[in-house]
Amino acid sequence: MNATRWSSVYTMVLRYVDIRTFIALIDDDADLDELRLSTREDREVDLLLGQLENFDTVTLALQRDTMSLYDVRILFETVMEDYPQAAHYLSRSANIVQQPNFENGVCKIQNPLSGQVSVGESESVGGLRVAPLEAAVADKHETYAERALKRQRRVPSEGKFLDCRFIVPTSNICERFFSATKRAIGDHRCGLLPKNFESQMFLYANADMWGMDDVQKIMQANET
């Protein structure tokens, strides 16, 4: 629901703080006096605003196209460190994570320093593995003995993986689209055919790619 979005709450609290000084200048208003916050409550508002500002920066960062799964994990780990109550929603094993082994595996591929891939994670990301190069691509200047010694000194590895930057986290744009879809269908459009509803929401999601001129051209083409 929109009421639970950090950005909406943050904007509301920020607006109050901006006009708080002007509210204090209003005298002789009994109705307003009943709504005024106490000094203690104002301090709590200031504290809340600071927390909401942190959450808002995280929300905006999640909307960047350059965010990787590992970047998101860094943000979530930082939030959980500062706000432990968020661990229920943001931890690696939270209910919202559909494939924890796959997500953790991709995060470790994107940043090998974050830990060794476990057996379960390795199986989940097996499709991203790149086969090791064959001996045919070895340095042609190496002798047979040099290649043998080099192979002996080489540390066994699990193999290399594809560049996983193409695997992006779920965007807030998707969440907003789902919210808009839920709001659009409502109780009065339950009888709408799925294909018609999909067409309407497709146009809504791509509103920047068409205009009234396009609609007029289509209508004129259908009339001829």
Q: Are 181 and 109 part of one and the same domain?
A: no
Instruction: Give the integer Cα–Cα distance in Å for 40 and 36.
Output: 12
Q: What is the rounded average pLDDT for all residues in the chain?
A: 80
Same domain, residue pair 89 and 155:
yes
Q: 56 lies in which domain range?
A: 1-63
Same-domain status, 107 and 178: no
**pLDDT per position as a tens digit, 132-148:** 654 445 455 667 666 66
Residue 126: which residues within 8 A CB-CB, separation 6 or more?
Answer: none
Residues 176 and 86 in one domain: no
Burial class (CB in 10 A: 0-12, 13-18, 19+), 7: middle
Q: What is the pLDDT of residues 61-112, one digit of tens each?
A: 887 778 888 888 899 999 999 999 999 988 888 888 888 889 888 888 888 7
More confident position, 15 or 165: 15
- Domain membership of residue 132 (yes or no) is yes
| Residues 109 and 54 both lie in one domain | no
How does pLDDT run across 163-179, given as a tens digit for each residue?
888 887 876 667 778 87
Which tokens in the block code for residue 158? 């699990």
- 106 and 160 together in one domain: yes
Q: Are 47 and 120 within one domain?
A: no
Write down the pLDDT at residue 3. Answer: 46
Alpha-carbon gap, residue 108 to 122, rounded angstroms: 10
Long-range contacts of 178-185 (CB under 8 A, 24+ apart): 179/1, 179/2, 180/204
pTM value? 0.61
How many domains, in total, are found in the chain?
A: 3
